[in-house]
A and B are shown apart, each in its own frame.
Chain A
Amino acid sequence: MTLSPFLWAAGLLPAFEWLQHTYLGDTIRHSAALIATLEIIHLIGLTLLLGTLLMVDLSLLGLGIDRQPVSSVARELNRFTAIGLAIMLMSGPLLLCSEAVKCYKTPAFWVKMALLAMAITFQFTIHRRATLAEPPVERSRATLVAIWSLVLWTGVALAGKGIAIFQPA
């Protein structure tokens, strides 16, 4: 709530109102079937992303797939993580269109966007370097990277659920 005046000053509310009233926003908002379908696709993207990421991070923690160096697991699975992310990034904005103003007024949405920005940045820089490194990075660093990765992405998922739970007044 305390966020809103600042964002209003930043001129974002009109942008969100515009988004919601675009043809796309109107069409999706008025179709429960479309919203349900998009949510399901969004959830399947999350499943792919979190499932593959978990196995890579478990590998970093030394709990992964036997006798497989982290880098070979990561090379195999990064593709699926990226596909999962792509599915989420395509379905997510469409869901946003359908209730842009509500999202604007829901702090959980902004928490999710902030965590998402951090998670994606982390994923394609520090996490990527640590998982693909040969020879492998030292244990303490690998553990730290794996824990941050899991915390950030779980945070994104929890904040996403929070958008549905914490409705604006």
Chain B
Amino acid sequence: MIRRAVDTKLVSQIQEITPKTITKLMRVKIKRYDPETRKMRLVEYKVEVSRYDTVLDVLLRIIRDQDHTLSVRYSCRMGICGSCAMMINGKPRLACMNNAISLGEAIYIEPLKNFPPVKDLIVDMDDLFKKHRSIKPWLIRRDEEEQFTAKKEYLQKPEEVDTYRIFSTCIKCGVCVAACPTAASNPNFLGPMVLAQAYRWSADSRDEDAKIRLDIVDSIDGVFGCHFAGACSASCPKNADPALAIQYLRRLVLTYKR
């Protein structure tokens, strides 16, 4: 039996897994909104970025080492809370889910489009959440008394869950609204996120009165404002496919027997 001094195969495997310590000096240009002057200003920073840093890591490094006045919304840093949505190199994305070095020589960051800015990279999401509440994103049961004093869970088959499961993975980040051309031109448009959630709740077999929700979305500002540009599904970071939900919702609105 021949015993090798060093297992070269294992060493090369470990070298592949271990992050390299090479860093790159990157230019980060941030368009910051100043609430006092009510204007945008472009500020450039130079940051040492390592191989596995995300854009959020870069922003937090800027705040820690260079400019503590920079305001950014973030929370989970793993793509599930939806707080860090912003425009990165012209596209709406989650900062925590995008590798910084792979973006090229420079990173250009702006506040999320189609939302009014509050400060720096933070935008006002109140209108979006108000529209979301308006479509009643909860189970509507005929017997409300029973719903609040239920003795057992509402049963649902796996096939019934399949009809809305992917749409329930929406993290309400607002990236789809930033990408949507109708949301850009009509401020009253409910938006892809809200319409997809309207379908998610209407398609749920435990929901008993979808009519209320369908009447709310039945307008030019609702489901008929969408003309299937598909940009929402193209940019969704969770692949929750809002465009698909909206087309299903449209058929439901057009064919539902009232």
Asked if chains A and B come from one complex, the reply is no
Chain B: residues with CB nearer than 8 A to chain A? none
Show the binding face of A for B, using Cβ within 8 Å.
none
